[in-house]
Amino acid sequence: MKRLKTAIDAVVEEIAKTDARGTPSQAVPALAGADTGQFGIAVHTCEGETVSGAAADTPFTIQSISKVFSLTLALEAHGDDVWTRVGREPSGDPFNSIVDLERHEGIPRNPFINAGALVVIDMLLGKNAGKASHDSVRAFLEARIGADAIGIDDDVANEEQSSGFVNRALANLAKSFDNLDNEVETVMKAYVEQCALTLSCEGLARAGAYLMSDRADQHSDSVAEARRARRINALMLTCGQYDGSGEFAYRVGLPAKSGVGGGILAIVPNEAAIAVWSPGLDDNGNSLLGTRALELLAEKMDWSVFGSI
Ligand code: GLN
């Protein structure tokens, strides 16, 4: 644990000295003015401890990181049937791209682009709710880390609700191909709400701990859950950073999911769940300093799914 704390402190120090900080998401006014000097990091270990640095308890909107949790619920409820409605391939396009959806006749390329997340959420609503352990991402997170660790940013939710033209277009296009059962507005509401949930790095690292698939973890005590976690990790590695996923795998070597709020959840299988946050984004909409911090921490801890050095 001491080695981890030393590594985290060194990462915090290096990040503070980094000049390039990226640009906050301009799509949502409530995010656009964020201070790119903000940075937080937390690591939840398989021993159940959380080690953190910098602004690890500052809440931020989890945005697309929520897509990991809704996918988990959809897989619980529907098993492999999920894959009849959404693919498992990287899109090579931006997260809100619409062209692929037409090309693939309403089947989104993967569950982590916006089109895919909308279809996954549709699978959790109304008569499709099925056997998911919880009826929303918020309820799923509350069960893992407690209601007090979770908030919602109403400004972000309201702005994304009123300005979500492209997301509505994606939902409508999926519906035109018969790949959305519920009303577009019903799906939009659930999508916007889960994107606007707020967690701190400490909360996010704890919330993502089930993806370590360490079966000693109290929340992952079944083989089925461990198998599901492994598959979600595969998708995070290949699709989690949109069209920056290849570069991210090369630099960091860990499955991860980003959000335009500046958060990233990364998983070291059987070892740790890492959450980083800094609101400045790179050209693909992934946190610039967050990615750099993960690269540094993975190097210092010799963490990679591609083997140790
Ligand atoms: N709420 C954002 C959107 O719909 C989520 C995108 C993201 O985090 N990449 O565009």
| Interface predicted TM-score (ipTM) | 0.97
Is 193 close to ligand 1, i.e. is its CB under 6 Å away?
no
Does the annotation mark 166 as catalytic? no
**160 in a labelled binding site:** yes
* Backbone angles phi and psi of 11, in degrees to 5: -65, -45
* Backbone angles phi and psi of 232, in degrees to 5: -65, -40
- Contacts of 91-94 spanning 24+ positions with Cβ under 8 A: 91/239, 91/242, 91/243, 92/243, 93/242, 93/243, 94/242, 94/243, 94/284, 94/285
Residue 223 is predicted with a pLDDT of 83
**Residue 15 burial (CB count, 10 A):** 22
Residue 64 is predicted with a pLDDT of 98
In whole angstroms, give the CA distance from residue 262 to residue 267.
17
Q: Where in the chain is the domain with CATH 3.40.710.10?
A: 2-63+197-301
**Would you identify the CATH topology of the domain 2-63+197-301?**
Beta-lactamase (3.40.710)
**191 in a labelled binding site:** yes
Residue 145 is predicted with a pLDDT of 97
**Would you identify the CATH topology of the domain 67-137+157-194?**
Probable Glutaminase Ybgj; Chain: A, domain 2 (1.10.1500)
Query: Which atom of ligand 1 is nearest the CA belonging to 195?
Result: 1
Is 263 close to ligand 1, i.e. is its CB under 6 Å away?
no
Q: pLDDT for 58-95, tens place per residue?
A: 999 999 999 999 999 999 999 999 999 999 999 989 99
Q: Where in the chain is the domain with CATH 1.10.1500.10?
A: 67-137+157-194
Does the annotation mark 210 as catalytic? no
Residue 220 is predicted with a pLDDT of 47
Does the annotation mark 191 as catalytic? yes
Residues of the chain with pLDDT under 70: 214-221
